[in-house]
């Protein structure tokens, strides 16, 4: 309702003014029901069974009416009422305050709205009334046709103003309901669930795009390069000592180098063995091409795809750094899974002194790992060993 009011004049041509009007009418009816429901409480006493029997239906009715002006708050409040009823909990002070305040204010607003619409209806009917009679509205006596049409215009303006005021009242009531029926902790919990769902959806979308790109590179680009390499090899063989053969040999060499680089990119990007067989076989294939003594020990079979990919990328980055920048000869990869966490340690026997540099590989991995509710730490004292630890939720 508040969002609709902020649209300005478009509010009057939307469905929200009529929803506000219906909410006020329902508020008047609920005020009467609240009074009737309080009679047995007063007569029979504040017994636990009586309060338990009355408060849930009353709050459920209020939540149903609240759906007219704030569906999200109404849905969350109704869910809380159902949970409290299932647990046999009595109404809280917030619930009682909301019901009593809404009953009193709802009755007053209903009466004022009924009076206002009655006056607006009389003003709108002024041109019809003055044909055979006249009427007075306080000190204003209307007995001429021009005055009647002026009164009708005033009635139309009054009607529009009433609809805006009812919308404003409904928006205020929605804020009041939100503060009492869905406290801040619930709203933050709901927002946390929404963010978690969005994050999971983004990770799934990233994984799908990554697999699609890997498939395109592997099945199309690599095959075309292989076919080109074979054609160049045939050309080279046909003119081994001529200029065409030499050009073909040079091009053949460049294509082979490109294929090697593409395969290296695919291994570091998202190898097919990772998605088909899991993390440990993929790391074993990765370690086979490196001149290091690498021992891999993971105490789990399969992990969520996003966690497996991040673990693979981390180990690939660590092994590349060890091979290029240290004199280490041995690397140990250890993975442990608990009920809700995955811990991966990559330890090398190098000279130590490693750290995370802004904008470089480990820093980028650290930022990406945050999306998995994880963290990356580096322990590398002078003289070694260096341990890079990844921990995230599974």
Instruction: Give the highest mean pLDDT range of 49-63, 253-267, 375-389.
Output: 375-389
Are 46 and 40 contacting, i.e. CB atoms less than 8 angstroms apart? no
Burial 194-220 (b: 16+ CB within 10 A, else e): eeeeeeeeebeeebeebbeebeebbee
User: What's the pLDDT band for 334 if we cut at 50, 70, 90?
Assistant: very high
Compute the CA torsion angle 208, 206, 392, 194 (nearest 10 deg). Answer: -110
Residue 335: pLDDT band with limits 50, 70, 90: very high
How crowded is residue 347: how many other Cβ atoms within 10 Å of its Cβ? 20
Residue 99 has pLDDT above 90, yes or no: no
Reply yes or no: is the peptide bond before residue 150 cis, omega within 30 of 0. no
Cβ–Cβ contacts within 10 Å for residue 352, how many? Answer: 18
385 has pLDDT over 70: yes
Considering only residues 104 and 189, tell me which one the structure prediction assigns the higher pLDDT. 104
Sequence-distant (≥ 6) Cβ neighbours of residue 171 within 8 angstroms: 1, 2, 5, 69
What whole-number distance in Å separates Cα of residue 178 and Cα of residue 35?
23
Q: How far apart are CA 86 and CA 24, in angstroms?
A: 30
Q: Pairing state of beta strands 293-298 and 375-379?
A: unpaired
Paired tokens of 317: 């980055």
pLDDT (tens digit, 9 = 90+) per residue, 103-126?
888 899 999 999 999 988 888 888
C-alpha gyration radius of the chain: 37
Q: To which residue do tokens 């009682």 refer?
A: 96
Extended beta strands in 349-385, E state: 375-379
Question: Over the range 312-328, which residues count as b (16 or more CB within 10 Å of their CB) and which as e?
Answer: bbbbbbbbebbeeebeb
At 127-143, the pLDDT tens digits run 887 776 666 666 667 76
Residue 50: predicted pLDDT: 61
Neighbours of 98 (CB within 10 A): 21
pLDDT above 70 coverage of the chain, percent: 79
Tens-digit pLDDT profile for residues 285-300: 888 878 888 899 998 7
Q: What angle do CA 88, 94, 98 make, to 5 degrees?
A: 110
Please state the rounded mean pLDDT for residues 348-366: 83
* 263 vs 28 pLDDT, higher one: 28
pTM: 0.45
- Residue 162: the pLDDT is 92
């Amino acid at each position: 309702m508040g969002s609709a009011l902020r649209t300005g004049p478009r509010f009057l041509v939307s469905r929200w003014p009529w929803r506000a009007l219906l909410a006020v009418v329902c508020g008047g009816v609920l005020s009467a029901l609240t009074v009737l429901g309080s009679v047995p409480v007063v007569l029979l006493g504040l017994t636990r069974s009586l309060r338990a029997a009355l408060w849930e239906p009353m709050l459920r009715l209020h939540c149903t009416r609240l759906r007219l002006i704030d569906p999200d708050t109404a849905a969350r409040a109704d869910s809380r009422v159902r949970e409290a009823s299932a647990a046999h909990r009595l109404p809280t002070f917030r619930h009682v305050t909301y019901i009593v305040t809404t009953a009193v204010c709802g009755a007053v607003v209903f009466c004022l709205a009924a009076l206002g619409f009655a006056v607006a209806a009389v003003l709108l009917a002024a041109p019809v009334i003055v044909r055979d009679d006249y009427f007075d509205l306080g000190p204003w006596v209307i007995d001429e046709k021009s005055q009647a049409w002026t009164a009708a215009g005033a009635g139309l303006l009054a009607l529009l103003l009433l609809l805006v005021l009812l919308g404003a009242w409904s928006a205020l009531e929605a804020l009041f309901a939100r503060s009492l029926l869905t406290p801040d902790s619930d709203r933050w919990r709901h927002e946390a669930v929404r963010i978690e769902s969005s994050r999971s959806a983004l990770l799934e979308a990233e994984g799908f795009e990554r697999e699609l790109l890997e498939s395109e590179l592997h099945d199309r680009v690599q095959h075309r390069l292989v076919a080109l390499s074979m054609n160049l090899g045939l050309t080279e063989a046909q003119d081994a000592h001529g200029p065409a053969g030499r050009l073909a040999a040079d091009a053949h060499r460049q294509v082979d180098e490109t294929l090697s680089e593409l395969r290296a990119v695919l291994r570091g990007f998202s190898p097919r063995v990772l998605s088909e067989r899991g993390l440990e076989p993929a790391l074993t294939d990765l370690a086979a091409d490196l001149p290091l003594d690498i021992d891999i020990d993971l105490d789990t079979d399969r992990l969520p795809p996003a966690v497996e990919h991040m673990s693979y990328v981390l180990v690939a980055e660590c092994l590349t750094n060890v091979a290029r920048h240290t004199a280490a000869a041995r690397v140990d990869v250890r993975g442990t899974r608990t009920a809700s966490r995955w811990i991966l340690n990559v330890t090398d026997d190098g000279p130590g002194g490693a750290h995370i540099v802004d904008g470089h590989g480990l820093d980028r991995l650290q930022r990406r790992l945050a999306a998995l509710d994880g963290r990356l730490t580096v322990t590398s004292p002078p003289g070694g060993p260096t341990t890079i630890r990844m921990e995230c939720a599974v």
